[in-house]
Amino acid sequence: MLSQKVTLTATNGLHARPAGELVKLIKSLDGKVRLATAAKSVDGASMLGVLSLGVKSGVEIEVTVEGGAEEQNLQRVVEFIAAIKD
């Protein structure tokens, strides 16, 4: 199990469109991915779960991966979140 924190810099936070793209990426990976804020932890493959985090700009998200190619999966998810701009 590996984890890393990343700060969301998108001005509009993690709204439906980027959240949907993130869930799609996570579902394509082998292994499990959890996303957590200071208040809550959810399954990264659940659209409702990801949206329920209510992540706004400047909020830190902890990404935890387990199983499969953990290092590669962690890097892909962290880079995706860091690249969200709208």
Helix or strand holding residue 66 (H, E)? strand 60-66
Listed in sequence order, the residues at least 6 apart from 45 whose beta carbon sits closer than 8 Å to its beta carbon are: 23, 26, 27, 32, 33
Distance CA 28, CA 20 (A): 12
Q: Which of 15, 51, 80, 82 is flagged as catalytic?
A: 15
15 is catalytic: yes
* Active-site amino acid positions: 15
